[in-house]
Amino acid sequence: MTHSRPEAIQAVRSGLRRLDPLDRTVLALTLAVWAMHYVMRTMLSLMPGDSMMEPGTLTARTVVSLFGVAVCLAIHAALKKADSNRPWRLLGYALALSLPAAMLVTWSGEYVFRYFTNYYEMYPDRWMTRWELGETYKAYQWNFFAWCALYAAARNNAEMRRREQQLADATNAAQQAQLLALRLQVNPHFLFNTLNTLAGLIVLGRAGESEKMVLSLSRFLRYTLARTPSQLTTLADEVGMLRQYLEIEAARFSDRLKVTWDIPQDCLAAMVPSLILLPLVENALKYGLGGSDRPVEIAIGARRDADRLFLSVADDGGSAHGNAGSGLGIGLSNARQRLAALYGDDAALDSGPLDHGWRSVIQVPWQEELALEPAA
């Protein structure tokens, strides 16, 4: 029995949590309005100087106030499906319902006060008189007017929040769709080249290299398919993916491709957009290595500068990059759009020629993974 009160309180709290936000707001403002009514009526009854207050009067006023709360909640239930896009019309509906509601509370209140107090025994000529009912009705009607105004404002505010959430959800969905479309433009290009190379190896009877390439492709696809377009991953995972990718591409270019890595250990935990370096490496292969007859070195680097992370991909190939136009190819254009969708103006991709070759640099805000996910 000692735990009955805490359990009751917990049950009430659990019930309130199950209500939707609008219902909780309406319940709170209804209780506040009628509590204020209770306090003001009690203070007015003390103004003539009679500091004594009969318990029956307080009980009757409490019962009537609770009945008023129930009536207001009933109006809310009746209007819950009404169009809240037009607050003035909603306010009109509430005011129209408040007129008979105030009459009901007035009429019920007379019987409540007659039951709990001896007021009408002392003043029998006031029972259900027009003057008595009119004065009581005006007091209750003003209370309902205040509630209606607050109710319409609460409904309008809830509708605005709902629209803002819908807009945010729609914007997020559009961003996700954009990022997915941009990523899907990268994967088919790579798969087309890989399958062509794999077919060539099979025709030449190079089974060992073919098997190695298939395994690398499998690991690469497992990585890419497990990531959502907007997902951030550690630079360590991104580097691991690039190593698989470059192992596949090495089968195409044989000994003409050399890759160097300059990634400090403290940068490996940085969070970066998944597959963000892939289009830079693809362009280095396509325009740097593909546009040159000699061996080409691709240098992949990372460094931290204060709260920024810089990622770079450079090659010492020919000048074929310059023939890609101002957009520097679909890959780099997509990378820019992904960065803009994820970071807005807080990220950038700069790409330009070197004395011998081309260099692309991505800068993003520094974010470090707090807890690594367990390896699958």
pLDDT at residue 176 in the model: 61
Residue 259 φ/ψ, nearest 5 degrees: -125, 130
pLDDT (0 to 100) of residue 24: 87
Looking at residue 227, its pLDDT comes to 63
**CA pair distance 69, 35, nearest whole angstrom:** 9
Rounded distance between C-alpha atoms, residue 51 and residue 56, angstroms: 15
**SS3 of the chain:** CCCHHHHHHHHHHHHHHHCCHHHHHHHHHHHHHHHHHHHHHHHHHHCCCCCCCCHHHHHHHHHHHHHHHHHHHHHHHHHCCCCCCCHHHHHHHHHHHHHHHHHHHHHHHHHHHHHHCCHHHHCHHHCCCHHHHHHHHHHHHHHHHHHHHHHHHHHHHHHHHHHHHHHHHHHHHHHHHHHHHHHHCCHHHHHHHHHHHHHHHHHCCCHHHHHHHHHHHHHHHHHHHCCCCCCEEEHHHHHHHHHHHHHHHHHHHHHHEEEEEECCHHHCCEEEECCCCHHHHHHHHHHHHCCCCCCEEEEEEEEEECCEEEEEEEECCCCHHHHHCCCCHHHHHHHHHHHHHHHHHHCEEEEEEECCEEEEEEEEECCECCCCCCCC
Q: What is the pLDDT of residue 118?
A: 80
Compute how many other C-beta atoms are within 10 angstroms of the C-beta atom of residue 316. 21
| Residue spans per domain, the chain | 4-172, 185-365
Greatest Cα-to-Cα distance within the chain, rounded to the nearest angstrom = 115
pTM of the predicted protein model: 0.50
Question: Which of 297, 250, 280 has the alpha carbon at shortest distance from 350?
Answer: 280
Say what the pLDDT of residue 180 is.
58
pLDDT for the residue 271: 93
Partners of 353 in beta bridges? 358
Asked if 235 and 270 touch (Cβ cutoff 8 Å), the reply is yes
Domain with residues 185-365, CATH architecture: 2-Layer Sandwich (3.30)
pLDDT recorded at residue 316:
87
Spans in the chain with pLDDT lower than 70: 1-19, 47-53, 83-85, 169-190, 224-230, 291, 318-331, 369-376
164: its two tokens: 């803002």
What pLDDT is recorded for position 322?
A: 52
239, two tokens:
């580097």
Compute the distance between CA of residue 151 and CA of residue 97 in angstroms, rounded to an integer: 13
Looking at residue 70, its pLDDT comes to: 94
pLDDT for the residue 325:
47
Residue 134's closest CA among 111, 103, 162?
103
Backbone angles phi, psi at 5, to 5 degrees: -70, -50
pLDDT digits (tens, 9 = 90+) for 61-91: 899 999 999 999 999 988 887 766 677 888 8
